[in-house]
Structure 1
């Protein structure tokens, strides 16, 4: 009897944890979850807010080798394309896209690192707000765009972590060993 009571006590916390996070059941919920997982919620992987946190401008400019991107370049690229896609989603005129995608990496300079981190967080927050405010028809019409933004972010956030690990500037307690 004591063993059964102990077993029940041990399984209660696990059962309540499993019930606190339910998967979304509608399109808005899925898209919001995807955007937050690449912005500010640690879920299946490290979000951007954690991936860029604590780096100095000098660390952000480090590259693992010739023709490799720095964390700063990757963060700038994410910010640039998130801003472009958000303008499109909102029906606003976006900045003209460069003819060569390399420019979206190479337009970064270490002097702008602190401001870039703020702008990256802001555009991701703006995405969250825009999706929350959009009506169902707009969400349905733009679901693929939003999903691609989140996938693109996740891809490059993975690169940011890899560069930080190569540099020795990543704390594995933050989510990736």
Structure 2
């Protein structure tokens, strides 16, 4: 009798697993790139995304730079705007803005007065990226997946720096993640 109940239970378990597998569509290149993009931009998983990392910070706080840091939160955010926009323009076939190759300039244009604009520009660029990935066909994603994945990694890297600086400045709420 116990064996029969165990066998029935095992069959029910296997049927449930099969149903779960059937309801979730198989991963595609687009779904993987979108998931990675969202977790580095707005959707918190096991690390803090950029949007949450810059949320609630004032222009003055964004301008603060610890003694051991080359850049401020604002400069890092401006740098993210520059590179994400440049790559999005390339992806969309638009003419890129002039750039002499000096990466330091991608940080230096930030000022305390430009903080609100910088945050808004980042939001617009990242909204543009989400739409571009969603609307791209498989061929386009096949030719761009390395660039998109590297962009996401670049964003996550600089978010780590942003959080480190905010923790040093004592303006990071550990309840948002990263104690």
- In 2 relative to 1, CA 66–173 (structure 1 residues): closer, same or farther, beyond 3 Å? closer
Instruction: Name the CA shift for 1:101/1:26 in 2 (closer, same or farther; >3 Å).
Output: same
Could you say which residue in structure 2 is the equivalent of 1:118? Answer: 120
For the Cα contact (< 8 Å) 1:70–1:163, is it kept in 2? yes
- Structure 2, unpaired ranges of 5+: 1-19
Q: Distance in 1 between matches of 2:117 and 2:139?
A: 35
- Gaps of at least 5 residues in structure 1 are 1-17
2:94 aligns to what?
92
Report if the CA contact (8 A) 1:35-1:124 is conserved.
Answer: no
Larger Rg: 2
Number of aligned residues: 159
Give 1:44 deviation, angstroms. 2.4
Once the 2 structures are TM-superposed, how far is the Cα of residue 127 of structure 1 from its aligned partner? Answer: 0.3
Scaled by the length of structure 1, the TM-score of the pair is: 0.85
Instruction: Report the CA distance between 1:98 and its aligned residue.
Output: 3.3
Structure 1 residues 67 and 166, CA, compared in 2 at 3 Å: closer, same or farther?
closer
Deviates more, 1:36-45 or 1:75-84: 36-45
Alignment partners' CA distance in 2, 1:126 and 1:39: 12
User: Which residue number in structure 1 is paired with residue 14 of structure 2?
Assistant: none
Aligned CA-pair RMSD: 1.9
Equivalence for 1:127: 129
Aligned positions of 1:3-152 closer than 5 A? 25-65=27-67, 68-152=70-154
